[in-house]
Structure 1
Amino acid sequence: MSRAFLRLLAVACGLAAPCAAQAQAGDAVEVSVRPQPLRTALMEFGLQAGVTIDAGGSERCGTSRGVRGRMSVETALSRLTLGTNCAASRVSAGAYRIIRRTPGRAAPLHSTPAPSAPSTVATLDEVVVTAARADDLLLSRAPYGLSSLDGLTLERAGVTDLTGVAARVAGLTVTNLGPGRDKVFIRGMADGPVAGQAQALIGLYLDDVRLTYDAPDPALRLTDIERVEVLRGPQGALYGAGSMGGVVQVVTRAPDLTGFYGRATGEAALTSGGSPGATAELMINAPLFRDRLAVRLVGYDETIGGYVDDPALGLGNSGEVHRQGLRAAALWSPREGWTLRAGFLAQTLSADDSQYATLGPGSPYARRRRLAEPNRNDFDGLWASVEGDLGWGRLKASSSIQSHSLDARYDATPAAALFGLAGTAAMDQADDLSAAVHEIRLNGDQGARLKWSAGLFFSEYTHDGTVAVSDGAGGPAVLLRRREDHVDEAALFGDVRYALSDRLAVTVGARVFRIGVEHRSGTAGTPGFFEGEDALVDVAPRVVVEYDRGPFVFYALATEGYRGPGFNAGAEGAGGRQPFRSVRPDEITAGEIGARFSLLGGHLRGRAAVFVADWSDIQSDRFDDRGLPFTANLGDGRNEGLEGEVQWRSGPWTLDGHAVVNDPDLTHPDPGFDLGDDIRLPAVADFSLQ
């Protein structure tokens, strides 16, 4: 825990509660909702009709037949729930709750007493978000820099990967190196555009599976997705190492226990000045035992057309990408209140060349290289979890294993002479990564004022990497370097949220952790191997103050994030210059003050925040004079900025936008690494407006 973190605790804040209703019961609305699971149908209906619905009880309701036409809200809800296990109950003007039907009886729409606090009713675009590790957190009340995009919105916008998500989320940046090669940054905290041995700054998750450690984004296709959540700022207390900039969590649609249905889609695309593309997707949901066991299968095959020409190699429209994936999930509900989930994921992604141009403005999508640069990124994972109510708390235990393989070729001809080669030179890099992650978490509450969580975490991670330099024409390697890294992390974490009053609450949490690193590397032709061990033991704290004030929620927080130590393969730099054998751990300490609002009956929503982050001993993946990769400590950095998001919804129409201002600087460069006059943190714009 740093002194900078303690200084950030001198923060105060103020806040608010939800707004009320939109369309009234008798108002006629124009709706068009296709047959689908009731929960998804309700979400689509809510967006079109502008009503407030508590859909928390709709997960096991079954499949809706859909509804189309102009009618009252209550008539539309009756038709949507017809034939399902649930019904809509009117809570107040423009507010409804989904309830289970009594067996053997119909359950028409009727009124029930209004809840004591309007914040207990969630609009459908205010889904319960999980990235903050809370069981019942509504997006509109979240005292964090948290955004959520629902799957229907992503589908309608044609968003299929994180590059598309970044265009819709304030402060989210994806480098444009091509699918399977990109890095992801949040709020200007960027360590460089190229992925190497340094652990990722952002935690990328698909449900309970972490997708990246020290590898680029695997670019999983966002197919059959419930939502994507982006949690900004360091999340060391919640997620551990490798979440220094924040977390991106992709939540898939869970198997539906009550209905058999499927969907198949196909698309074709034409690229101006490039090759065509095509996509096929298939989804099948199958209950094996009604209300008890179901499976959901998703598969896809996609070709993205290439558009780069290389006259020197006689290549046209290179850079074509082929992506294939399969995802399977099973959900078993053995009894009320308990759920077991398991899943499998596999994706292969390959590109026949890299996607950059070097010629002038007369040929914007062309270059001249001596060798093509194909690459491959394959990912697969298994996961299982159990979640249930213990009476005094809620338990969730999860385990996952993953395998990640990357292969890439780089044209190293400009440095051929440095390797003793007279003609072309190719650098081939192969990385095999595997990980196992286990976590047990308990959440509970003692009355209305006190909520708590506690848990245990353990992970093991292995990375085997090879770098080989040859003439690129089948000749022997003139340089062959191998490395093996084993990293384990164990942690005890927890937090307590206490409501000092009906409006003011404070959350205090921490993660006590140990990271151990073992390294072994060697270069062919050089005697012996280098072996190193290191460890980091520390505490990552978190403090949040929130104040709920009418249509506003104000908050202030202080958090930390961290990455563990590491080692470099190959020789040390001369004269005290990097690369060094050892790489120091780095840490980000951040503070944020922000507010959310919901005005005009919930039609106008938004969030604004000002933030500051201090980054010590920045780890960054770099290249030496011969183009060989290593990890450097660049020094200390700082970013200050502000961001805002706003959204207007009226019936089926949505207008949203965001703006971010960053000032990311390297404040104290490390004397062992020469950056020249460039002291800006890389790869992030100072200002963005969408």
Structure 2
Amino acid sequence: MASKSVRAGGRAWAATLAVGLAGLSAVPAEAAPRLFAGRLSPVVRLRIAAKPVQAALIDFALQAELSLGGDLEACRGQAPALTGRLSVQAALDRILAGSGCGYRQPDPRTVIIHRLAPQTRPATPAQVAPTAPPLGLGEVVVTAQRYPNLPGRTPYAISVVSGGALEREAVTSLNDLTGQIAGMTVTNLGPGRDKVMLRGLSDGAFTGQAQSMVSLYLDDVPITYNAPDPDLRLADVERVEVMRGPQGTLYGGGSLGGVMRIATRKPDLDRYQASVLAGLGWVKGGGRDGEFEAMANLPLVRGRVALRTVAYHEAQDGYIANSALGLRRANESTRSGVRASVRAALTPNWALTLGLTRQWINNQDTQYGLRRLGSKVRDNLVREPHDNDFDHTSLTLTGEGGWGRVTGSISQLSHRFQSRYDATSVSTLYGLGGALAAFDEDKNIDLTVGEVTYATPGQYRLHGLVGAFASSGSIRLGANLHALPAGSPAAYAERRRDDINEAALYGEVTFDVTSRLSATAGLRWFDFSFNTDSNVTQASGVRGKQQSADAAGFSPKVLISYDARPGLLIYAQAAEGYRPGGFNTAGRIGQVFDAPEAPPSRYEADELWNYELGAKLRAFDDRLRGRVAVFYATWESVQSDQYLPDGTAYTTNIGNGANWGIEAEAAFRVSGRLDLRAAALIDDPEITKLNLAFSTRKDADLPGVSRTSASFGIDYHRELPWGPALRLQGQASYVGPSYLTFDADKAHRMGESLSLRGIASLSTPDWTLSATLDNPLNSHPNSFSFGNPFLIARDQIVTPPRPRTLSVRLTARF
């Protein structure tokens, strides 16, 4: 019903914003200031312990949800403890008093720190007007390192996109971020089916038993294990943080490629807030899209307890035709969800947050075509729907004082996804005589995770953190291949259960050798156990397997960073990551294991070392901000999910791999009205040593990732004489060619595409009206060449991007 009401409300103003969109393409990331802060109050509630001024400023920016920039390193002395409600001006005056620093605000969401000129008389309040124009870029505080810091002053390859940028650029999924974050690749199988890869590190495009390459976090708790991206809508999100891998020391297995963390907006203990968003979209060759989103923040006990909740529903029309079934828009989809959190301030230093997230995705069909028919046409006689249900509950306790910072959390994850594939092409292999057949897969992941970290105060020369992690869960898989219609006896069935338990202790310690030179060492001890119970059933019999294994070890990291001069940070790092092994059980009765070109009964753990030299730069009074990293990764016993000719899945170690590359990101404020952004990755992923039992070419690359990718964004913004602010944004991103499989079969060549996006908006503190044009040239390259495991070797699959789409949305804030 929500989708219909959205459609009905949008017709009157759709055409108004369509004019002037041609030639635009979306969005600089967090660099761009917000001209309006919505109903931002000048009063914020703070909980900051007494600490050095620089650390207090970072905590202030995090809690006040502001961007921070400028010469923080020039600030001297200790800031007093701040507790309770203070205006932004009063808080900054108290933090900066006697520090030798002042501040200015280029916009309501950004604070720029500057050194004060020497004075012969007592200092006045800290916000002394600077002589330079207030054009500096602020940075969004990140916490992916388990303590708050600014990404431009952190010796790691970290990217961040602020919540304001997500809203301005109509970003609703991680897939939408690929044009902004250097080295980020997301497959294009469909909502709730995609896989995230970072910096050219790919174990293949398929998702099976192997643990994910990139660990996804919702606030402080993990939300994936060996599942695709649950595709949570980025609604009411404070920021998205991306830290390249491996991150085995802090995050354990499943973070070889890195960590992506979605930080949600926390309940405001003092203010009533609400917002409503409604949007419509028109797809070339398709129908209409619709979206609706509503947020409310309710103080239950003012200053002590508050509830924040967001609910949404969106419907996307299809654009893939099925000529055999007479369907013009087969791949329609919907996504609905709700997220709620209750925050309680137990004491001035301790807070407790209870979070609940639920989301449902329903896809009517997959979104691939067949090259012989056209990129957006196929002729399957069986539809391929997909459902993805995600439930997550977490309880987090945080505390901070002069003794340091503690975070403890416990969470429960339930993730269920069901898929159907057309299996007619292999029905004869299963004794069905070429009849119409379907393969149904039902996977349930239930995981309980507990973690606690303690970070010491950062003002001492020796500082660090320690943590403990424990998880316990099960993965249940049900697979059936059967003739149609539904209800026909299964020609093949597997019931599998994996019980997984992991415990880990970890820590990092940093020693400030001098005021400019620091050295960090980290180590994680882990113990991992898993049990597998599988039964495969066919007319010819039953095959049962019960297997178990344990793995224990260490994951180290070393890092040296040097502040060469104000605004220039240089660092060198070596870090290791790992993933545990497991067992293969799928395949028809009589399937041979542990033979050449056959799946192993057990696949081994893999290990990745990354060596990196990087630099971060701030220049021209913080108008320019950038980073560059040169890296080399060695990957031993690469795990990869693959498919047998009969369409059943297995995991194997395909050999050793390596990747070297150069990665860069930059943002530049040309003037008070114009911002530019650019990102690029050049790398060389390859297989260096083959597993002779796995058939592949000697010159094979790591699949699914290209050797080159780049993006460019522009953001023009100005206040109009009659009130609102006008914003014009554009984005262009290029992805080079790659291959679906390790054997670099040209039939599975994909990528080599240019994506364009443009946004125009009018905004006031109370409302924003915007229009977005995606894929204005209506290009249809093969963004991904996988849609059906039974057709990989039998047909040439093409997965085009969404056709040209014009969307309009209206957001009201109360």
**TM range, smaller chain:** 0.7 to 0.9
**1:447-462 alignment, distance < 5 Å:** 447-462=459-474
Residue by residue over 1:101-139, the C-alpha shift from the partner in whole angstroms, topping out at 9 and shown as x without a partner, is xxxxxxxx962399xxxxxxx987323211122x23221
Which residue of the partner structure matches residue 556 of structure 2? Answer: 541
What letter corresponds to residue 659 of structure 1 in structure 2? Answer: A
CA distance in 1, matches of 2:384, 2:249: 40
SS of equivalent residue, structure 2 residue 164: helix
What letter corresponds to residue 404 of structure 1 in structure 2? Answer: H
Which residue of the partner structure matches residue 378 of structure 2? Answer: 367
**1:642-681 alignment, distance < 5 Å:** 642-649=662-669, 650-676=671-697, 679-681=700-702
Aligned positions, number: 615
Kindly indicate whether the alpha-carbon contact (under 8 Å) linking 2:214 and 2:260 is maintained by their aligned counterparts in 1: yes
Which residue of the partner structure matches residue 688 of structure 1? Answer: 709
Kindly indicate whether the alpha-carbon contact (under 8 Å) linking 1:464 and 1:482 is maintained by their aligned counterparts in 2: yes
CA distance in 2, matches of 1:511, 1:536: 14
Which residue of the partner structure matches residue 751 of structure 2? Answer: none
Following superposition, the deviation at residue 272 of structure 1 comes to 0.4
Sort the Cα spacing of 1:33 and 1:460 in 2 relative to 1 into closer, same or farther, 3 A.
Answer: closer
CA distance in 1, matches of 2:272, 2:65: 9
Following superposition, the deviation at residue 250 of structure 1 comes to 0.6
Following superposition, the deviation at residue 30 of structure 1 comes to 12
Which residue of the partner structure matches residue 415 of structure 2? Answer: 404
Sort the Cα spacing of 1:591 and 1:604 in 2 relative to 1 into closer, same or farther, 3 A.
Answer: same
SS of equivalent residue, structure 1 residue 486: strand
Kindly indicate whether the alpha-carbon contact (under 8 Å) linking 2:410 and 2:451 is maintained by their aligned counterparts in 1: yes
Kindly indicate whether the alpha-carbon contact (under 8 Å) linking 1:60 and 1:257 is maintained by their aligned counterparts in 2: no
Equivalent of 1:495 in 473, 484, 508? 508
Following superposition, the deviation at residue 391 of structure 1 comes to 4.1
Which residue of the partner structure matches residue 568 of structure 2? Answer: 552
Sort the Cα spacing of 1:163 and 1:110 in 2 relative to 1 into closer, same or farther, 3 A.
Answer: farther
Sort the Cα spacing of 1:272 and 1:98 in 2 relative to 1 into closer, same or farther, 3 A.
Answer: closer
Residue by residue over 1:421-473, the C-alpha shift from the partner in whole angstroms, topping out at 9 and shown as x without a partner, is 12112111110111011011111037531111111110112100011101131
Sort the Cα spacing of 1:296 and 1:110 in 2 relative to 1 into closer, same or farther, 3 A.
Answer: farther
CA distance in 2, matches of 1:484, 1:324: 29
Equivalent of 2:301 in 283, 289, 293? 289
Following superposition, the deviation at residue 551 of structure 1 comes to 1.3
Following superposition, the deviation at residue 84 of structure 1 comes to 6.7
What letter corresponds to residue 223 of structure 1 in structure 2? Answer: A
Sort the Cα spacing of 1:484 and 1:32 in 2 relative to 1 into closer, same or farther, 3 A.
Answer: closer
Equivalent of 1:597 in 602, 617, 631? 617
Kindly indicate whether the alpha-carbon contact (under 8 Å) linking 1:615 and 1:637 is maintained by their aligned counterparts in 2: yes
CA distance in 2, matches of 1:432, 1:251: 25
**Structure 1 residue 111 corresponds to structure 2 residue 111:** no
Equivalent of 2:287 in 250, 275, 296? 275
CA distance in 1, matches of 2:143, 2:438: 45
Which residue of the partner structure matches residue 323 of structure 2? Answer: 311
Following superposition, the deviation at residue 661 of structure 1 comes to 0.5
Sort the Cα spacing of 1:469 and 1:341 in 2 relative to 1 into closer, same or farther, 3 A.
Answer: same
CA distance in 2, matches of 1:252, 1:148: 13
**1:148-547 alignment, distance < 5 Å:** 148-360=160-372, 363-389=374-400, 391-422=402-433, 423-445=435-457, 447-474=459-486, 475-525=488-538, 526-527=541-542, 529-547=544-562
Percent of aligned positions with the same letter in both sequences?
36
**Structure 1 residue 638 corresponds to structure 2 residue 679:** no
What letter corresponds to residue 378 of structure 2 in structure 1? Answer: R
CA distance in 2, matches of 1:338, 1:585: 40
What letter corresponds to residue 421 of structure 1 in structure 2? Answer: L
SS of equivalent residue, structure 2 residue 598: coil
What letter corresponds to residue 464 of structure 2 in structure 1? Answer: W
What letter corresponds to residue 553 of structure 2 in structure 1? Answer: D
Kindly indicate whether the alpha-carbon contact (under 8 Å) linking 1:578 and 1:632 is maintained by their aligned counterparts in 2: no
Following superposition, the deviation at residue 178 of structure 1 comes to 1.0
Following superposition, the deviation at residue 38 of structure 1 comes to 4.8
Kindly indicate whether the alpha-carbon contact (under 8 Å) linking 1:558 and 1:590 is maintained by their aligned counterparts in 2: yes
Deviates more, 1:658-667 or 1:439-448: 439-448
CA distance in 2, matches of 1:123, 1:296: 32
SS of equivalent residue, structure 2 residue 521: strand
Kindly indicate whether the alpha-carbon contact (under 8 Å) linking 2:353 and 2:396 is maintained by their aligned counterparts in 1: yes
Sort the Cα spacing of 1:338 and 1:511 in 2 relative to 1 into closer, same or farther, 3 A.
Answer: same
Sort the Cα spacing of 1:679 and 1:276 in 2 relative to 1 into closer, same or farther, 3 A.
Answer: same
What letter corresponds to residue 542 of structure 1 in structure 2? Answer: K
Sort the Cα spacing of 1:262 and 1:500 in 2 relative to 1 into closer, same or farther, 3 A.
Answer: same
Following superposition, the deviation at residue 275 of structure 1 comes to 2.0
What letter corresponds to residue 656 of structure 1 in structure 2? Answer: R
SS of equivalent residue, structure 2 residue 627: strand
Which residue of the partner structure matches residue 117 of structure 1? Answer: none
Sort the Cα spacing of 1:357 and 1:166 in 2 relative to 1 into closer, same or farther, 3 A.
Answer: same
Structure 1 residues without counterparts, runs of 5 or longer: 1-21, 23-28, 42-52, 64-82, 100-108, 115-121
Structure 2 residues without counterparts, runs of 5 or longer: 1-30, 46-55, 67-84, 106-110, 114-122, 129-134, 712-814
Kindly indicate whether the alpha-carbon contact (under 8 Å) linking 1:351 and 1:374 is maintained by their aligned counterparts in 2: yes
Sort the Cα spacing of 1:40 and 1:124 in 2 relative to 1 into closer, same or farther, 3 A.
Answer: farther
Residue by residue over 1:139-159, the C-alpha shift from the partner in whole angstroms, topping out at 9 and shown as x without a partner, is 120100001110111111111
CA distance in 2, matches of 1:574, 1:646: 49
Which residue of the partner structure matches residue 774 of structure 2? Answer: none
Following superposition, the deviation at residue 209 of structure 1 comes to 2.7
What is the TM-score when the length of structure 1 is the normalising length? Answer: 0.85
CA distance in 1, matches of 2:411, 2:452: 12
Kindly indicate whether the alpha-carbon contact (under 8 Å) linking 1:202 and 1:242 is maintained by their aligned counterparts in 2: yes
CA distance in 2, matches of 1:257, 1:542: 39
Deviates more, 1:468-477 or 1:259-268: 468-477
Following superposition, the deviation at residue 652 of structure 1 comes to 4.6
CA distance in 1, matches of 2:221, 2:421: 30
Equivalent of 2:140 in 122, 127, 147? 127
Which residue of the partner structure matches residue 582 of structure 2? Answer: 566
Kindly indicate whether the alpha-carbon contact (under 8 Å) linking 2:635 and 2:656 is maintained by their aligned counterparts in 1: yes
What letter corresponds to residue 393 of structure 1 in structure 2? Answer: G
Sort the Cα spacing of 1:404 and 1:652 in 2 relative to 1 into closer, same or farther, 3 A.
Answer: farther
Kindly indicate whether the alpha-carbon contact (under 8 Å) linking 2:445 and 2:475 is maintained by their aligned counterparts in 1: yes
CA distance in 1, matches of 2:359, 2:221: 14
CA distance in 2, matches of 1:651, 1:434: 50
CA distance in 2, matches of 1:297, 1:279: 17
CA distance in 1, matches of 2:249, 2:37: 41
What letter corresponds to residue 341 of structure 2 in structure 1? Answer: A
Kindly indicate whether the alpha-carbon contact (under 8 Å) linking 2:42 and 2:87 is maintained by their aligned counterparts in 1: no
Kindly indicate whether the alpha-carbon contact (under 8 Å) linking 1:208 and 1:400 is maintained by their aligned counterparts in 2: no
Sort the Cα spacing of 1:465 and 1:597 in 2 relative to 1 into closer, same or farther, 3 A.
Answer: same
**Structure 1 residue 57 corresponds to structure 2 residue 60:** yes
Residue by residue over 1:527-582, the C-alpha shift from the partner in whole angstroms, topping out at 9 and shown as x without a partner, is 45211111111100011110012210101111111111100113433744331111
CA distance in 2, matches of 1:372, 1:270: 24
Following superposition, the deviation at residue 330 of structure 1 comes to 1.1
Sort the Cα spacing of 1:463 and 1:238 in 2 relative to 1 into closer, same or farther, 3 A.
Answer: same
Kindly indicate whether the alpha-carbon contact (under 8 Å) linking 2:368 and 2:375 is maintained by their aligned counterparts in 1: no
Kindly indicate whether the alpha-carbon contact (under 8 Å) linking 1:38 and 1:62 is maintained by their aligned counterparts in 2: no
